[in-house]
Structure 1
Amino acid sequence: MKEITVPAVLEELDRVLEFVNGELIACGCPVKTQMQLDIAVEELYVNIARYAYHPEIGNATVRCTVGGDPLQVTVQFLDGGKPYNPLLNEDPNVTLTAEERSIGGLGIYMVKKSMDEIEYQYLEEKNVLTIRKKILN
């Protein structure tokens, strides 16, 4: 499993995406799957950058591995910020108009809908959020 550790700030988003995309390109990941993963990685990393340590700044580690049968990519996000399980939030009511919905929650909902698996753990004083997506050619 390869990993990158960066300061959890928005300015590092491109570096995180380049890291994950490097692994996806190396395994011949289809563009559609890569785009779904890019959206999920962006959403999850931005949430860490905005909320995990606020108002302080800490580090975020992103781990990426590709393998298995069927072939799949696993991306893990680790931070030492405030314990927070985004999977416990109620899904937004997407049948309402944007004006009728409460603010927040749509990003993690999109991640849950586009990934094959998503799980959260709090281990050794770290938030660990893992997403998995099968790579179908």
Structure 2
Amino acid sequence: MDQITVPARKENLSRVLEFIGRKLEPFPYNATALLRLELSVEEAFVNIASYAYQLNKEKIIPQEEIIPQEGITNHEKITVQEEITRQEEITVQEEITAPEETRDEEITVRLIIDEDPLQIMVQLIDSGNRFNPLGKEDPDISKGIEEKEPGGLGIFLIKKNVDQVHYEYQEGKNILTLHKRMD
């Protein structure tokens, strides 16, 4: 088993793909199978880098979204935002939308190669927000792009390009496992 751990940033995708390519060099793999595996790893990696470590932006409730309780006048209403000062609100919002560069979270890519028949198992491991990408239904690809809701195509592409996909959550870590025959 080999593995590489990189900061959870999209620009590290090339390091991960180079790592996989180097490890497969000694083996007689099918080039199309490698392209399908790389597409799947790319999609999973970019999704993890983009979303796994996002903070919950729903912690601040805009005042206009707070529904007044029956019998309470506008004067008596107390909202979440009125309980903190303007400066505290700005500080909290800045923390929630912290720039990507300040994050130090990582993605570990673990690789196991089985030679007979040639197949590869790639695990993408992160300690970000718990999320099972396999829990969503496949998108309806019969709809036109204008009718389709955004999101969902990435995991669909992964499922179509590898032989098996598994997800598990263990000890605070998301583990997405991709299996692909390479012959």
TM-score of the pair, normalised by structure 1: 0.94
Distance 2:42 2:125 in 1: 14
Q: What does 1:80-99 align with in structure 2 at a 5 Å threshold?
A: 80-99=127-146
Q: Cα offset for 1:68? A: 5.0
Matched, 1:116 2:163: yes
Report the equivalent of 1:43.
Answer: 43
Aligned residues: 136
Distance 2:171 2:27 in 1: 31
- Contact 1:24–1:34 (Cα < 8 Å) also in 2: no
Q: Cα offset for 1:25? A: 2.5
Q: Cα offset for 1:3? A: 0.1
Distance 1:90 1:38 in 2: 23
In structure 2, stretches of 5+ residues that fail to align are 55-97
The amino acid across from 2:2 in the alignment is K
Greater C-alpha Rg: 2
TM-score of the pair, normalised by structure 2: 0.71
- Contact 1:9–1:57 (Cα < 8 Å) also in 2: no
Report the equivalent of 2:124.
Answer: 77
Q: Which protein is richer in strand relative to its size?
A: 1
Change (3 A) 1:25 1:68: closer
Distance 1:104 1:22 in 2: 32
Q: What does 1:100-115 align with in structure 2 at a 5 Å threshold?
A: 100-115=147-162
The amino acid across from 2:163 in the alignment is D
Report the equivalent of 2:8.
Answer: 8
Change (3 A) 1:96 1:57: farther
Identity %, equivalent residues: 44
1:47-105 CA distance string (max 9 Å, x none):
11000112544010001111053221000000000000000011100111111111111
Q: Which secondary structure state, in structure 1, belongs to the residue aligned with residue 117 of structure 2?
A: coil
